Amino acid sequence: MKKLLCLFLFLTFTCFSQHELEMCENNNTVTYSTTIDMNGTIQWYLNGNPIGQGSDINITYDNVGDYQLVAVGANELGCEGIPVVLNIIVTQCDPLIYWIPNSFTPDGNEFNQVWGPTITNGISIEGFKFEVYTRWGELIWESFDPEIKWDGTYNNKLVPDGTYLWKMNFKSLKNSEKSLVSGYVTIIK
């Protein structure tokens, strides 16, 4: 009877869920917890292999891929309860994360008065250079600090509405590789 009861508990339901995880730099350890309410033990499995016991577990991902994490509770008699299954998709984030708006409005109000890159990951400030050119190729602004933003002026005068070319030179923090990216910004007043 005990085996039949245990088999019934195990086959009744399985709770599935999915989690997507993006690995960036050294940020690849995740703590998982379960709310399995059962007197006894909780066993954790990753891709079918036992990896630990307890109500929570830390997993460090070294590789991208698809993983299946399962938590199974067992009572004092050894009867296993409903397994909780989490399908995990691990991807690698872009090591370079920056954003450069395509327009701004230096019109004297309190909003959107300056413009420049927002850098959040992977770019060294050593060797950084940001330039703005007119459509005829004339350099009208440059900065060697990503925190300094352009106010839309050249020779202390506001430039006319229009589209301007920008170029950004930088090095990657990961491997010191040099990169050049470019685009356009539109000034609207």
pLDDT digits (tens, 9 = 90+) for 151-173: 999 999 999 999 999 999 998 87
pLDDT band at 7; cut points 50, 70, 90: very low
- Which comes out higher in pLDDT, residue 173 or 1? 173
Average pLDDT over residues 83-98: 80
Comparing CA positions, the residue from 5, 17, 4, 2 lying closest to residue 71 is 17
Mean pLDDT of the chain: 83
pLDDT of residue 25: 63
- Among 69-78, 115-124, 156-165, the range of highest mean pLDDT: 156-165
Domains along the chain? Answer: 2-92 (2.60.40.10), 97-187 (2.60.40.1220)
Contacts of 172 (CB under 8 A, 6+ apart): 95, 96, 122, 123, 124, 179
Judge contact between 103 and 185, C-beta under 8 A: yes
CA distance 106 to 11: 65
pLDDT band at 110; cut points 50, 70, 90: confident
Backbone angles phi, psi at 159, to 5 degrees: -75, 155
> How many Cβ atoms from other residues are within 10 Å of residue 74's Cβ?
20
Model confidence pLDDT, tens digit, residues 14-56: 455 777 877 766 667 888 888 776 678 889 999 999 999 988 8
In this model, does residue 148 exceed pLDDT 80?
yes
Q: What percentage of the chain exceeds 90 in pLDDT?
A: 43
pLDDT of residue 95: 64
Model confidence pLDDT, tens digit, residues 125-147: 888 999 999 999 999 999 999 99
